[in-house]
Chain A
Amino acid sequence: MCAYRATTFEERGIYPPPKESVTVGEADLKFIHLRDGNDPGLLQYVRNGGIAFPHIMVPDTLQLRSVSQPYSDANALPNAASVLRRSSGDQAETSANTKEGGLQSTLSTMVSHAAWLWNAKQNIGEAIDNIKTQSLLAVESWLPGPLSQVIFSHVSGTASAAKADALKIEEAEGYRSMLAKTEGPISCVAWHPHRSLIAIAHHAADCIFIYDLANDTWCANVLQNAYMKGISCMAWQPNCGYTLAVGCITGVCLWNIVPPSSAAETADVQKAPGLGSGQFSAWMTMLSFPPLSGANQYPSQLSASNHPVFHHTASSVSAITFSRNGQWLITGHQAHGHLTVWDVALGTATPLKRSGSTSRSATLQLGISPDDRYLVTTHANGQLRLWETENWASQVWSDFKTNVVQFAWSPDSKAVYFACEGGHDIYALVLYKMAPSLDADVTVVTSFEPHAATVTDEDGDSKRIHVGGAIKSLAVDPRGQRLVVSFDDDSTSGDISLLAVYLVDTEALFRAGGDSNALMPLGYIRGPNWGKQPQVERQPSDPTHKAEKAAKNRRVRVGTPIPSWFGFAPNFESGSLLTVAWANGKISFIPSLFASRISKQ
């Protein structure tokens, strides 16, 4: 491992924007920070070709109404998708057909009874399994807690086993990373690789919204299913229309979204045909490896009152990635370090058992290189593993003090930028030879030390604020020009609402002589925090006193939302488009306009 001398933000004369401002974009290598909507900088920015994107807001809590399935037996099917929609159009249609359905329901009951008898062996087996599970649960509930924990912690399907699994996972991943994942209403966001669609996973409701940025509308449907619980990651399948893979505790929920046939006709000719704001249909396929068993098995009858409670199992997914051609889906798991390679079209799974079999080596993140020739995985035991995808051989780096939290591939597939949990350094795993060679080396590219920086507000007053902290996450734009870093809240951290942006030059890593310019500081991004929020203070119980005090103390403070997720849009003609999900549920889009500059060069 070698290191380069890093240039700091202060050395380059880059200071953070004041807390009252918000960053709308970057043009000519400078970030535009606005104080409010009347800021003259906004007009200047737009005149110079800048694009101001609207913010999207996702509420903390949701109340969704479900719509009956179009077919009576759909609920009974193991893999049937339940798409909960906002509108109630289908409900009215269902109620109109109620009378006609009376005879049909009698017939269907008879048929179902006959079918039950026909599959008596299987049904009896299921019933015995149920009785077994119920009796286990009953015995478990009678026993004292610690004793049942000892006895049943290895019996799958029991609450003790679930508790033991959860504890293992918490131990492995660490409390901090677990909490970081659950910060705010948004658990993860995924950009469609070819369309201007983003899928947003809601943490509390375990559902997915789709926003069409081209048409500036939310899609009417919300994707939700009884088996889609504890969403941990999400990705759109490239080259397969609208197929979304969602990693959760039961495995991977593969949503196939069928756009409405009218979408192409009704779409504005100035806009692309997309999912639009109309109703689309969707169905879900469950990919679980190993297949779900015991209490987590698909019930034969799934209804609103029979939503199973799922526990962490060997098939629980922690990270997913698609190959660029969309053929392979690679999943990492929460309970062990093995990977599963799915041929999505054929539905075949191949396990790759290299890392450990316990939750201590659970996969934290995985990402395939842009040329599909390499895969990088990080594990909870501190391993960083580089795979080549031809023979699936791998090489491990495990001499890091802490886990590798985040990494990002450079678009030429020659380097992987990453950071370690609690650290201030940005590393690069540099691949010196062509695939499938695993000849690579780890280099410290730069370091962001927390420091006090001077901030000047609009009145010209200067004050010093503490910037930076342990690096929490990072992302590289698809053109390989910008690297964005967010910070974690720890003892060394200051203003963690800021994102630091670097100018990337991957070629510098391959130049001899220790060039320090692989990452050059470029600027800071501040989130949409101009909304004044009333300060929440604990008041005495007396209501009159409370009202008086509230009026008196109606001071406001500036909200400083923390970034909970960020990433770049896969395609943006003018440069790069950073998407940031803030902990308060707001999603902002920050364009960097540099394409014309590159083309001139």
Chain B
Amino acid sequence: MVYQNARNQAVASTDFAKLAHTILQQRFLRACVYQAPLAYTAAIVANLNFRNGIFSMFYALISPRTLGYTVAAYIAGIVCLAIHLQLFQVTRAAHSSHFPKLQRLLRSPASTGAVVGSFTLLAYFMLIVHRGMFGGSSMWLYPEGVYGPPQLNPGWLASWVFVTTVGVSYGLKLFMDERLQLAFPAIEQSRIYTIKDRLPSCFSTAFEFVSSTMWRFWLGYFFFGWGMYQSVCGVLGRIFTTSSYGVGSPLFSISNLAFWLHCSFSMALTWELAHQLFGIIITEPTRINELSLDRNFCLLNGLKYNESPLIQHWAYQELYRLTAFSAEQRTEILTDIDRKSGTMWSQISSECLKVVQTATEQLKKQTALSKPEKPNASSQSSADAKLPVSAGGAPIKDILMQNRRKSQGSEPQPVKKPEPIATPDLFSVEAQGLEKYVLTTLRDMLLQSPLGQRILLRSQRARSISTFANFQLQVWAIRSLMRLVESSLSEDKYGVVQGDIAKVLETLFVYLAELERCSKQTDSMSSKNDYNVQTANRQTVAMIQVLRNALYEFTTTFYDYLEALKLPPAQAQQLQKFADFMA
């Protein structure tokens, strides 16, 4: 409804990026609004007290303490949202080994420092609020009476050290675990349902983080805590008279442990809720093109806009959505032929193909084959005329197969065993100048030892999910493109798509061949079974599935017209495999 209203007041601008920036601001404001109930949720969780019975729990819903904590959690959540807005990532550079993680932290020390510092300050702020509301160990002890010299409370000091650890750990975790990476949803759901579905994972993640941090802190403080306490007391003793009575360790105090757990869980939950909220709201599908009077051109501008990965992703997400669900706009794109720059279909398809072609080139570089194989089709003699694809082979409409015609698929050529990759890809982020020299020298030295390999080499999982930086964009581009091609069968009045089908198929087949070569290379390098290919090269296998799915869909949609397409021999031959269900 909102978008419908917006469309009624559509703007003349076709600048997708400009509109997208406005949407981004709106979404941030919406996130700030949604943060309020989430902060209230965190406040209720913090104020739950099972000791006083169920009525006290009801009272916790409206108690001043809950409302006060809500305000504090809201402020903390807004700061979290602001940090995410500044530092979110769209393209992926996953790397699980320790050195690149460290490298990632040091690459932008200013932002790393700012984030870590912000979360540490937030942790202090939450600790102060927590202490104000729920109490906690006081700063000074008076072992010699209230008129005697004070002594620094070790529990107090440990609390501050602990929350510092929590803040620093959370800030580092955001960078090292790539938590600022946006994950776009597979399907569109109501925002409320999505938030509701994410709540359990917020609780579990917060608890896991707190328990692991607490365990590490406890161990660290066990060894170094006493020394630290003595040092601080020494400094304080030089300033004013302090007592030196023996005190117990805060690490073995149940009340201290409970306080730390309660306090850190509340703050981690607040941050986690804000983190999930940001991800949900920012990655929701947009309808920016509908805001413009010339929506097709606006969308095209978005597809071309490569200055901001987020905005480009939004544009492809919109294209994917409208090709799947909006028959009206799909038809509009296919019949939009009266433009100086070319038909809308040709411009959109060339943008999508560009994504695929770029990915193909990148993959070729990545595989670093010494002798690139020629595709099977090109090995055929050029004397072959344009071969029509036989559609009689597959019994889509004739289960009895009485009209079966001879298949034109030739004998598949044996797959040439590719050579292994010469040098493994170690650094996901490219280094320059002196940094590159130092890092490369260090890398070469370290790689000589097993320990160095352990530190530097990517884990199988990291490698499997980081083959492509823009994996999601490619999936949207391929699926949108093929949906437009398929819908052209009934919706393309002027036949603008028909002339480009061969080009589209050629691009997809080349990419498919490259992906298959890449997966076979992994196969030969690791082990000879499909399971390893799947796990070691997950993105490659997934992309192969996406392509196969799209090509099969094309085949089944155009089944009756395959012969009439008059494709070049290379594509005809490869498409024949799909027509025969032998791909």
Residues of A within 8 A of B (CB): 51, 71, 73-74, 77-80, 194-196, 213-214, 238-242, 256, 259, 261, 263-265, 267, 269-274, 283, 285, 325-327, 341, 343-348, 350-354, 373, 389-393, 435-436, 569, 571-573, 577
Contact = CB atoms under 8 A, between A and B. Distances in A.
B189 A272 contact: no
Interface residues of B, number: 50
Given A271-B404, A272-B393, A345 B546 contact: yes
Given A264-B407, A269-B406, A390-B325, A240 B580 contact: no
Contact of A264 (B190, B196, B409): B409
Interface stretch (B10-18, B140-148, B265-273, B547-555): B547-555
B516 to A, nearest CB: 13
A591 to B, nearest CB: 9
B190 A283 contact: no
A241 B544 CA distance: 13
Contact of A571 (B397, B529, B530, B580): B397
Contacts of B224: none
B126 to A, nearest CB: 30
A80 B538 CA distance: 15
A271 B552 CA distance: 21
A240 B548 contact: yes
A241 B399 contact: no
Interface string B530-569: 1110110010001001101100110010000000000000
27 contacts: A71-B528, A71-B529, A73-B527, A74-B531, A195-B395, A196-B395, A214-B401, A241-B548, A241-B583, A263-B582, A267-B407, A273-B407, A325-B549, A345-B542, A346-B542, A346-B545, A347-B538, A347-B542, A351-B197, A353-B193, A373-B325, A390-B188, A390-B325, A392-B188, A392-B190, A435-B325, A573-B400
Contacts of B542: 345-347
A259 to B, nearest CB: 6
B581 A259 contact: yes
A239 B553 contact: yes
Nearest to B528: A71
Contacts of A573: 397-400
Nearest to B325: A390
Given A194-B581, A345-B546, A391-B190, A270 B529 contact: no
Contact of A326 (B186, B399, B534, B552): B552
A460 B343 CA distance: 74
A264 B549 CA distance: 21
B318 to A, nearest CB: 13
Contacts of A325: 549, 553
Interface string B234-250: 00000000000000000
B529 A77 contact: yes
Contact of A352 (B189, B479, B531): B189
Contacts of B435: none
A71 B546 CA distance: 28
A239 B531 contact: no
A80 B411 contact: no
A345 B549 contact: yes
Contacts of A273: 393, 407, 580-582
Contact of B399 (A74, A341, A345, A572): A572
A237 B307 CA distance: 39
Given A194-B556, A351-B197, A392-B188, A272 B394 contact: yes
B196 A241 contact: no
Contacts of B400: 51, 214, 573
A279 to B, nearest CB: 15
B489 interface: no
A273 to B, nearest CB: 5
B545 A240 contact: yes
Given A285-B534, A571-B397, 20 more contacts: A71-B528, A73-B529, A74-B529, A79-B534, A195-B394, A240-B545, A256-B530, A271-B404, A272-B394, A272-B401, A273-B582, A325-B549, A344-B545, A345-B475, A345-B545, A346-B542, A346-B546, A347-B538, A392-B187, A435-B325
B29 to A, nearest CB: 22
A77 B530 CA distance: 11
Nearest to B411: A265
A269 B392 CA distance: 10
Contact of A577 (B193, B197, B396, B399): B399
A18 B527 CA distance: 62
B185 interface: yes
Contact of A194 (B396, B535, B545): B396
Interface of B: 185-190, 193, 196-197, 325, 393-402, 404-407, 409, 411-412, 475, 479, 527-532, 534-535, 538, 542, 545-546, 548-549, 552-553, 556, 580-583
5 closest A-B pairs by beta carbon, nearest first, are: A345-B545, A239-B552, A239-B553, A345-B546, A272-B401
A393 B546 contact: no
Contacts of A353: 193, 196-197
Contacts of A351: 197
Contacts of B528: 71
Contact of B549 (A196, A239, A393, A435): A239
A219 B404 CA distance: 20
Given A195-B395, A347-B542, A571-B395, A270 B549 contact: no
B321 to A, nearest CB: 8
B404 A241 contact: no
Contacts of B553: 239, 325-326
Contacts of B527: 71, 73
B196 to A, nearest CB: 7
A270 B197 contact: no
A596 B404 CA distance: 21
A431 to B, nearest CB: 16
B185 A350 contact: yes
A434 B411 CA distance: 48
Contacts of A285: 534
B581 A571 contact: no
A389 to B, nearest CB: 8
B465 to A, nearest CB: 11
A346 B475 contact: yes
Contacts of A264: 407, 409, 580, 582
A239 B556 CA distance: 7
Contacts of A392: 187-190, 193
- Among A77, A79, A239, A341, the most chain B Cβ lie within 10 Å of the Cβ of A239
A326 B395 contact: no
Nearest to B321: A390
A413 to B, nearest CB: 13
Nearest to B554: A239
A194 B549 contact: no
Given A240-B545, A261-B412, A577-B399, A393 B190 contact: yes
A285 B399 CA distance: 29
- Among B187, B407, B412, B553, the most chain A Cβ lie within 10 Å of the Cβ of B187
B411 to A, nearest CB: 7
A508 to B, nearest CB: 26
A327 B542 CA distance: 12
Contacts of A569: 399
B452 to A, nearest CB: 16
Nearest to B185: A350
B549 A240 contact: yes
Contacts of A274: 581
Given A351-B197, A352-B189, A269 B548 contact: no
A340 to B, nearest CB: 11
Contacts of A80: 529, 531
B463 to A, nearest CB: 16
A408 B479 CA distance: 29
A283 to B, nearest CB: 5
Nearest to B475: A346
Contacts of A239: 549, 552-553, 556
A352 B190 CA distance: 11
A241 B397 contact: no
Contacts of B546: 345-346
